[in-house]
Structure 1
Amino acid sequence: MSMNTDVQDVTAESEIRALMDDYLRAVRTWDEALFRSTFDANANIAHYYVRGDEVRTISLDQFVDTIRSLHEKFDNAQEIAEHIEVSRVGHLASVRVDFRFVMGSKEPQGSDLFNLAKVKGRWVIIHKSYWL
């Protein structure tokens, strides 16, 4: 591996981690514009629903509504990352985030699996799967 490739790898991982930081900050502060900017406009979200043993897929707009409703219901709705793992191949990346989601006095644990793509010079989330 050349020194230039090493620098590109470090830069890409740094950009990906910055995107994840923006995502987590947007959820915590409920900055809808920042939240939306972390996703591609055509992204979708799949939630593994443990109680129903099924997968529910929703649009980005529906996911925005879900996060907004949590902030309306709870004073302290936020996702707290416990561990972040990044894998990248070229202009695609996979990010796993183990987290606690604070909702009032509840703190369920879960995992996010993000698929990212570098589009027009910046990383965006193209798909999110999660269980909580």
Structure 2
Amino acid sequence: MSDQSYVDELDQVTATMQAYIEGGRAGKSAVLQPAFHADANICGYVGPDLFCGPIQGFYDWHDENGPAPGLQARIASIDIAGTAASVRVDMDDWTGHRFTDFFNLVKVDGRWQILSKVFYLHP
């Protein structure tokens, strides 16, 4: 990959993550759903309970949880190798919650999509 194409890939991964973040602010899974692959999954602890499964469980929570207009998010790192990428996003005030999320993305048909989300819900 040339430097320019790597920068283009970074921009595309960043755009996917921005769609996710904007979906968080909007409080509607329909806004963030395009960032995810149809076979995506999620896993992390909510208190003492492990929450793992298909991404639909996150969509359901998100739609019930509502908008997060005060959401502050920072992409802390992006690592790309060919058609695979990993991203860390730190977020404050997702409706009062603070999260650190780790995403694995795959470039499918020329578009970066989130295939997995592992989260840490800060106490």
Normalised-by-shorter TM-score class: 0.7 to 0.9
Shift of 1:79: 4.0
Q: 1:113 pairs with 99, 102, 108, which one?
A: 102
Alpha-carbon distance between aligned partners in 2 of 1:99 and 1:87, rounded to the nearest angstrom? 19
Could you list the runs of 4 or more consecutive aligned residues of structure 1 that deviate by over 6 angstroms after TM superposition? Answer: none
Match of 1:27 in 2: 24
Q: In structure 2, do the counterparts of structure 1 residues 76 and 95 end up closer, same or farther at CA, with 3 Å as the change threshold? A: closer
Q: In structure 2, do the counterparts of structure 1 residues 117 and 83 end up closer, same or farther at CA, with 3 Å as the change threshold? A: closer
Q: Is 1:12 aligned with 2:9? A: yes
Q: How is 1:30-45 mapped onto 2 (pairs within 5 angstroms)?
A: 30-45=27-42
Deviation readout 1:51-82 (Å, 9 max, x if unpaired): 31x532121111100000101xxx64664213
Q: How is 1:1-132 mapped onto 2 (pairs within 5 angstroms)?
A: 5-49=2-46, 51-52=47-48, 55-71=50-66, 76=68, 79-103=71-95, 106=96, 108-132=97-121
Identity %: 29
The alignment of Structure 1 onto Structure 2 pairs a total of residues equal to 121
- Structure 1: 5+ residue runs without aligned partners? none
Shift of 1:128: 0.2
> TM-score with structure 2 length normalisation?
0.87
Alpha-carbon distance between aligned partners in 1 of 2:17 and 2:73, rounded to the nearest angstrom? 10
Q: In structure 2, do the counterparts of structure 1 residues 16 and 7 end up closer, same or farther at CA, with 3 Å as the change threshold? A: same
Amino acid at match of 2:58: F
> TM-score with structure 1 length normalisation?
0.82
